Structure 1
Amino acid sequence: MRNLTDPVRRRAARILGQQPVPVGIAGGVFSISFDDFPQSAWEVAGPILKDHGVLATYFVAGGLCDGENIGKRQFSVNDLQALFEAGHEVGCHTFDHVSALRIGPAALEAQIARNARWVSERLDGHTMTQFAWPFGDVSLSAKAVVARHFEHSRGVRDGVNSGRADRNNLQAIGLESRRLPHYDLEALMARTADSNGWLIAYGHDVEDNPTPYGCTPEDLVRIIEMARQAGLTIAPVSSAASMMASTRI
């Protein structure tokens, strides 16, 4: 259950405890990510990504494997292994998909460690280097924990990462039916290109009749095509971060 202090804690974490990194990628970059993740994010989205030559980042919560979340069937181990073998990135979303506002630092450490073991055992020792905050919930104490384990963490605050960005709470846009109608996607893509910035999208299910947190296959195709038309490079989160670190504008 939420309480009245949650918005205050989230706002404080956005302003305080930042670790700014310069963002400068010639022509801009766009990353697609899926959280949790529902089975359709692989079974439906996977072929679309392949057809367009795109690799994405899947933020995994091991505890959701073979289960149900937001009314949708979640991924299987076979799904996880197949997308990893196809070259997609696997990142961390805690083991139990728990909000950082609901647990303390020690419990968050345990969630990260458990998810790391679970993924490593199923993906030939893979070490996750990127993190996404479940529900977008961030606290100052949680940022300190996550920063010790991951190169970057992604939130859900709308925006383009440009100029300088907080590596512990990167901005993003929702690849979600509840959010997409409210974005000027062409303007966001153009801003990313013009500022040599980094635009990250996050979604969940990909279906003809998605949840409010998911999108249609047509939505996914459209956002890929718009990014290409804007001249953006499309890359997983860790690859985009590497480009950001190595490019000098």
Structure 2
Amino acid sequence: MREQINRLATTLVATKPLIIAHDRPTVSISFDDAPRSACQLGASLTEDFGGRSTYYISGKFANSDPLDDYSLTDLHQLNEAGHEICCHGYSHLDYRKHSLDVLKKDLEKNADFFRDNGLPQPRHFAFPFGAVNPRIKAFCSEQFDTCRGIQPCIMRKRLDRALLCSIPLYAKHWNHATYKARIEDVRKNGGWLLFYTHKVTDDPGPYDATPKMMEELLKMTADLEIPIKTVSEAISYLTME
């Protein structure tokens, strides 16, 4: 019951409402933590279908595992190719368990990481673990243009920039017909579908996608002539006159 009350309060408190066009169906692909496979294979697949992706980065993962985690070269290549690099906090903390002072220092440390490595300062944020409450939402929404949660719904007409909805693209959830129905819904009724995942691998863990899944999803989107945009691009596209 307490968790349900927290979710409801988080949805209602500290909103940053934004009216979006109803006639511009849009899809975005985002990667949390940006494992190397996401930076390389994930980016390549998105580019093959004419889009660019959004990467939510925690600075502590840089070069931490040369086989799995992103390198600074990966980030610069993504940036140069037109993908978007955003903030996931430096230490990938569950922000609900820490004071606002700790959160502030963690976000500042990630901003320093971007600055020290010649990357544009991030405009968008995703809550690590999807962990958020009204206090955290209010604080983080003051720091960024948007904050992304993990409530799985299509965003239509009026969205909350302080808590964007997103849908997991995980192997454990994958069903071709279900995801196709979501994309067809957006094509027919408008809205913004923002997906998120982690690795892109033929041996996926519970929070990863396979290359086949990614390719199928992107092909469905392209076949229906729905643009694939980064978070910044999507916001601009959906709000332009």
Please confirm whether the aligned pair reaches a TM-score higher than 0.5, indicating the same fold: yes
What's the secondary structure of 2:10's corresponding residue? helix
Give deviations 1:50-79, integer Å, cap 9, x for gaps: 3222210001000111225xxx72111111
1:15-164 alignment, distance < 5 Å: 15-24=12-21, 26-67=23-64, 73-124=68-119, 126-164=120-158
Give deviations 1:73-100, integer Å, cap 9, x for gaps: 2111111111111111001000011122
Relative to structure 1, the CA distance from residue 108 to residue 188 in structure 2 (aligned partners, 3 Å threshold; closer, same or farther) is same
Q: How many residues align?
A: 240
- Normalised by the length of structure 2, the TM-score is 0.92
Relative to structure 1, the CA distance from residue 195 to residue 5 in structure 2 (aligned partners, 3 Å threshold; closer, same or farther) is same
Q: CA RMSD in A?
A: 1.9
In the TM superposition, residue 107 of structure 1 has moved relative to its aligned partner by 1.4
Distance in structure 2 (CA, Å) of the matches to 1:224 and 1:21: 26
In the TM superposition, residue 6 of structure 1 has moved relative to its aligned partner by 5.1
Relative to structure 1, the CA distance from residue 52 to residue 228 in structure 2 (aligned partners, 3 Å threshold; closer, same or farther) is closer
Matched, 1:219 2:213: yes
Distance in structure 2 (CA, Å) of the matches to 1:142 and 1:74: 27
What's the secondary structure of 2:171's corresponding residue? coil
Unaligned runs of 5+ in 2: none
Percent identity between matched residues is 29
Relative to structure 1, the CA distance from residue 233 to residue 121 in structure 2 (aligned partners, 3 Å threshold; closer, same or farther) is same
Give deviations 1:102-140, integer Å, cap 9, x for gaps: 11222111111111110122134x111011111111111
What's the secondary structure of 1:202's corresponding residue? strand
Is the 1:25–1:243 Cα contact (8 Å) retained in structure 2? no
Distance in structure 2 (CA, Å) of the matches to 1:11 and 1:104: 22
What residue is the counterpart of 1:246 in the other structure? 240
Matched, 1:233 2:213: no
Matched, 1:189 2:183: yes
* Matched residue type, 2:33: D
In the TM superposition, residue 186 of structure 1 has moved relative to its aligned partner by 2.0
What's the secondary structure of 2:175's corresponding residue? helix
Relative to structure 1, the CA distance from residue 178 to residue 8 in structure 2 (aligned partners, 3 Å threshold; closer, same or farther) is farther
In the TM superposition, residue 206 of structure 1 has moved relative to its aligned partner by 0.3
In the TM superposition, residue 171 of structure 1 has moved relative to its aligned partner by 0.8
- Normalised by the length of structure 1, the TM-score is 0.89
Is the 2:146–2:163 Cα contact (8 Å) retained in structure 1? yes
Is the 1:162–1:192 Cα contact (8 Å) retained in structure 2? no
Extract structure 1 runs of 4+ deviating beyond 6 A: none
In the TM superposition, residue 221 of structure 1 has moved relative to its aligned partner by 0.7
